[in-house]
Amino acid sequence: MYHKRICLFIILFIFTGVTLSEECHYSADADTPTKRYKNNADGTILDTQSGLTWLRCPLGMKWDTKRCRNIPERMNWSDAQSNISKLNEQGGYAGFQDWRLPTLDELSTLVERQCYAPAINSEIFPDTPLIGFWSSTTDPDYQQGAWLVYFLHGSRYMGNQGYEWAIRAVRK
């Protein structure tokens, strides 16, 4: 029992320690300044530059007026598409039923290059896990490939559609 408690403590310490250790260096203008976003006060945020509305939390996490709670669901690319369809079929979110996976270019607009761990504006998208997020963009040269953004450092990667990553839904 003692070892289980120690392991749980270590896991919680690592998870919360990483989440709280964002490092930003604003030597230049931010890519995603807070003033660029409008808080819709319903767990969504409007990017006034692109016109896209984003879920503030990845699927599996819940918005509680100040932050995202729980652990994000990880799923393969096909299940990501299915789960967003299911979200829409079951009434949607914030009164909308047209949520979808973002394209790679849309997802990349969330990357804040001045920050690391996570490479995102944490005031707007708090508690973003340091993992990859699926985009809807597939790879024409690799039938099982789809692109993702890894928010530890904001890089774009082509991943195998069978691997499990997080999802942040968007709508126009």
| Cα torsion 37, 87, 154, 131: sign | positive
Residue 16 confidence (pLDDT): 42
Residue 30 confidence (pLDDT): 87
Helix or strand or coil: residue 139?
coil
- Separation in Å, CA 122 to CA 64, 83, 128, 142, 154: 15, 25, 7, 33, 13
Strands of 155-160's sheet in order across: 132-138, 145-150, 155-160
- Residue 9, pLDDT > 90, answer no
Peptide bond into 129 cis (omega under 30): no
CATH number 3.10.100 is the correct assignment for the domain at 2-171: yes
Structure tokens at 45: 């945020």
Residues 122, 106: Cα–Cα separation, whole Å: 18
15's enclosing H/E stretch is helix 2-19
pLDDT band at 6 (very low <50, low <70, confident <90, very high): very low
Residues 55, 32: Cα–Cα separation, whole Å: 16
pLDDT band at 161 (very low <50, low <70, confident <90, very high): very high
**pTM for this predicted structure:** 0.85
Residues 83, 87: Cα–Cα separation, whole Å: 6
- Residue 167, pLDDT > 90, answer yes
Residue 4 confidence (pLDDT): 54
Q: What is the dihedral of CA 69, 126, 59, 166, to 10 degrees?
A: -120
Residue 171 confidence (pLDDT): 98
